[in-house]
Amino acid sequence: MFEGLVYQALVNYLGQYVKGIPREQLRVGLWSGVVLLENVEIQTEAFDYLQLPFAIREGSIGKLQLQVPWKKLGWEPLIVTLKDVVLCAGPWDDSEWGAEPAARRAQAAKRAQLVAAEMIKLSRRVSG
């Protein structure tokens, strides 16, 4: 049951960055506070909001580890460790400079600004 809650939280927060978080790979150390995922695929469109001058074609993360301070959640930081990150990047195709991809990148940038504003607002509420 606890792993199901952790899995749902990961899907909600990391789902926009990684493809199909494999539930069977998820390892949760309840007492240690370690959540571990291995060999996950990166969603290439997750980085559109950065408006990079190149396209990310594919990518993977060999090991994604979260150190969660269960007993002091909200007071101590959550530590994310990424190992063996591989990205394959290349130039934009002519088709990727069209109206639809440009609109998708602009929408992603606006969404990222909204998320950043929400995070700032939340951190002020928590620390204030």
Most confident of 47-51, 80-84, 105-109: 80-84
Q: Give the integer Cα–Cα distance in Å for 112 and 103.
A: 14
Q: Report the helix count and the strand count for the chain, using DSSP H and E.
A: 2, 5
pTM of the model: 0.65
Q: What is the DSSP string of 73-85?
A: BTTB--EEEEEEE
Each residue's pLDDT tens digit, 52-65 = 788 888 999 999 88
Each residue's pLDDT tens digit, 12-30 = 777 778 887 777 766 777 6
- Locate the domains of the chain by residue range: 2-127
